[in-house]
Amino acid sequence: DTGARLEAAVDNVIARYGDADFCILAGDLADLGHTAAYERLQRIIERMPIPVHITLGNHDDRSTFLDVFGAGHAADTGKVDKVIDSKGYRVIVLDSAEPGRVDGVLEAEQIDWLKARLAEAADRPVIVVLHHNANALHIASDDIRILEPDAFIEALKTHPDIRQVIAGHVHLTSTANYRGLQFTTLAGGHYSVGFNVDQPMAPFRRLTGPGQMAVIIGTEDRTTVLFEDFIDGNAEIALAPRKRAEDVEAA
């Protein structure tokens, strides 16, 4: 039940990150892009104590999303692209959804928009968030990543300080260096996907848990991504009181 899992994510934000600057939901907000699903999402995230920024994935329907959430979510590109300037950082959120396709597409117009937003950021650190991964991960879903990512990579390389490019889509936690840039995926709130390094293109296996979010901490000299499993995470180990050496000797 992805709704119940999202509720658990919201509970975790309320409990632990009520002072965060914002949260990004990086697409695949609905399974089939239905109005009722977006209305349900809207109700669930009403409880979020911090601003929520949204973009779309391959399961979404852009016009239905915009009908429910408001046309103001679309940029000049017509896509759900946005810029968040916060505490010396620029965060650029890109909509890689393409109707009728499972892989991701960034249109030429979006690449131009990205380059302009990067130029405005000058030498400020930048984090890019989008639904589809650009880098292959040696897994079966490599053929549904960003289609022809070269223009995207070249646009990113016009900026001197891209700290992270963060995606979802693959239901897998990964971090990679690809063409000199740092790419991260997180497992997200739904099922996870197993990998097989001996047969990377074998059909993927769906696995239970975790429900995972990433906590991003940006300072001037570093950008840290911490993965938090809010479902099927680690339980704390209860430690027995430490015995003093003299008690052990007396026993």
Q: Which is nearer to Fe ion, 58 or 110 (CB)?
A: 58
Cβ atoms of residues 97 and 57 within 8 Å = yes
Rule CB under 5 A: say whether 58 interacts with Fe ion. Answer: yes
**Among 2-10, 55-63, 226-234, 241-249, the segment contacting Fe ion (CB under 5 A):** 55-63
Element (H, E) at 216: strand 211-218
Rule CB under 5 A: say whether 189 interacts with Fe ion. Answer: no
Q: Which is nearer to Fe ion, 58 or 184 (CB)?
A: 58
Q: Kind of pairing, strands 205-207 and 192-194?
A: antiparallel
Residues 110-169 that bind Fe ion (CB under 5 A): 169
Least separation in angstroms between CB 65 and Fe ion: 14
20-52 burial, b for 16+ CB within 10 Å, e for fewer? eeebbbbbbbbeebeeebbebbeeebeebeeee
Residues 3-42 that bind Fe ion (CB under 5 A): 28
Collapsing DSSP to helix, strand or coil, 6 comes out as helix
DSSP 49: S
Cβ atoms of residues 58 and 76 within 8 Å = no
Binding mask 205-244 for Fe ion (x = CB under 5 A): ----------------------------------------
Q: Which is nearer to Fe ion, 117 or 171 (CB)?
A: 171
Q: Which residues make up the interface to Fe ion (CB under 5 A)?
A: 28, 57-58, 169
